């Protein structure tokens, strides 16, 4: 038996604790980090640090070891073969700048998930910090490995493991190197980060229902079931139309992706049928509560790191996305914020001024094609 690999999980919220427990159950030595200015999540670290473990409930329950729970970034990543970012996507570029002096040549950084444009944003942050970006392997998934939520001090519920998750590196030639480090985990190679980025199911599953349930979210925050009650037949039709636009954009860019219906059946074990039936029959979604507020990452994160880059790319190549354009406008009005300015535009991702073939070439041949991002 070899020495277990060390994984530093950055972000100790619901997703981060779930990912830490999952990796520990898979035999990794796990460290868990969170930024010190997040009071609520910092408090969550205290019982984990004291027990040096997490209690996993739901999927494969039991107590799993956590080598370190810390707010010191250097301490978390030192010597780790895998650095997993489970922060919100808006933090990817800033995290890259913070990690730039700490990462060692050959370390793998995995964005779980990258949303749309995550690896491009992260590499831009490394470059801004003056780091030789060729030294670090950067990859992204299109979604989380598990659905999870913190259910008490030092306790995280994992609702199930997803299957066959696409993973791609930037540049695409590094994908094989990344997967070699992740043997035994449920990842499969995707052609490029354009494929993972456009297989961003948070756009239809989060942005659309959040906007269409705005009144309920303000009147009954956290008091209804997000999928079971928040996605009615009419909301499901809007979700399906948004997904059709995502697929149309991928097709216009010549990018492989997966329809939402197929993902629900093949990765989450949902029953086949129309989209409404698959969502309502999905066990992983059955007990998921609505967010505690309208101003939640399900809305702003999936807009700035999903809808904005998709709309921006659609405009750049002449692919109309009317439902996504509408939800972008409405989300900004509902939150009173300029989400376009905050989001991952084609310019910010270094893709402005390119046609579909040029965009594909940029991500496939990143070393030769990269240029400064805005």
Pairing mode, if any, of strands 53-58 and 62-65? antiparallel
CA distance 259 to 18: 26
Tokens of 177: 């190197």
The answer to whether residue 206 is catalytic is yes
Catalytic residue among 121, 174, 243, 302: 302
Strands (E), the chain: 6-10, 29-33, 53-58, 62-65, 68-70, 82-85, 108-111, 137-141, 146-152, 155-161, 165-169, 187-189
Q: Which one from 92, 121, 174, 206 is the annotated catalytic residue?
A: 206
The candidate with the shortest Cα–Cα distance to 194, out of 165, 172, 175, is 172
Listing DSSP states for 70-99 in one string gives: ES-HHHHHTT-SEEEE-S-GGGHHHHHHHH
The pair of structure tokens assigned to 342 is 């905050």
Residues 6+ apart with CB under 8 A from 274: 236, 261
Catalytic: 92? no
Q: How far is CA 113 from CA 19, 54, 174, 355, in A?
A: 11, 22, 17, 26
Q: Give the phi and the psi of residue 60 in degrees, each rounded to 5.
A: 45, 65
Residue 53 CB neighbours (<10 A): 20
Enumerate the active-site residues: 206, 302
């Amino acid at each position: 038996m070899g020495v277990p690999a060390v994984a530093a999980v950055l972000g100790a919220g619901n997703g981060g604790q779930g990912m830490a427990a999952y990796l520990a159950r898979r035999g990794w030595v796990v460290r868990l980090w969170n930024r010190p200015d997040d009071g609520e999540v910092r408090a969550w670290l205290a019982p984990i640090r004291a027990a040096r473990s997490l209690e996993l409930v739901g999927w494969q329950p039991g107590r799993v070891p956590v080598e370190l729970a810390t707010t010191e970034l250097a301490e978390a990543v030192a010597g780790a073969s895998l650095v997993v970012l489970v922060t919100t996507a808006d933090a990817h570029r800033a995290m890259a700048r913070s990690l730039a002096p700490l990462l060692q040549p050959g370390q793998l950084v995995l964005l779980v998930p990258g949303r749309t444009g995550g690896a491009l944003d992260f590499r831009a942050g490394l470059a801004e910090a003056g780091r030789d970006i060729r030294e670090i392997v950067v990859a992204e998934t299109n979604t989380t490995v598990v659905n999870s939520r913190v259910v008490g001090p030092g306790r995280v519920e994992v609702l199930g493991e997803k299957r066959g998750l696409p993973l791609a590196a930037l540049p695409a030639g590094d994908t094989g190197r990344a997967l070699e480090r992740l043997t035994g985990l449920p990842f499969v190679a995707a052609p490029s980060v354009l494929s993972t980025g456009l297989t961003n199911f948070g756009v239809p599953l989060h942005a659309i229902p959040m906007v269409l349930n705005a009144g309920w979210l303000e009147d009954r925050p956290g008091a209804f079931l997000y999928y079971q009650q928040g996605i009615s037949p009419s909301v499901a039709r809007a979700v399906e139309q948004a997904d059709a636009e995502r697929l149309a954009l991928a097709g216009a860019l010549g990018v492989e992706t997966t329809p939402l219906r197929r993902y629900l059946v093949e990765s989450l074990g949902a029953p086949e049928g129309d989209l409404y039936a698959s969502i309502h029959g999905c066990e992983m979604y059955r007990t998921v509560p609505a967010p505690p507020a309208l101003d939640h990452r399900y809305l702003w994160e999936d807009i700035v790191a999903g809808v904005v880059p998709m709309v921006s790319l659609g405009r750049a190549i002449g692919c109309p996305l009317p439902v996504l354009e509408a939800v972008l406008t409405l989300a900004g009005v509902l939150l009173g914020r300029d989400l376009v300015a905050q989001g991952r535009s084609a310019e910010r991702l270094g893709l402005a001024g390119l046609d579909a073939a040029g965009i594909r070439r940029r991500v496939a041949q990143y070393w030769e094609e990269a240029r400064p991002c805005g």
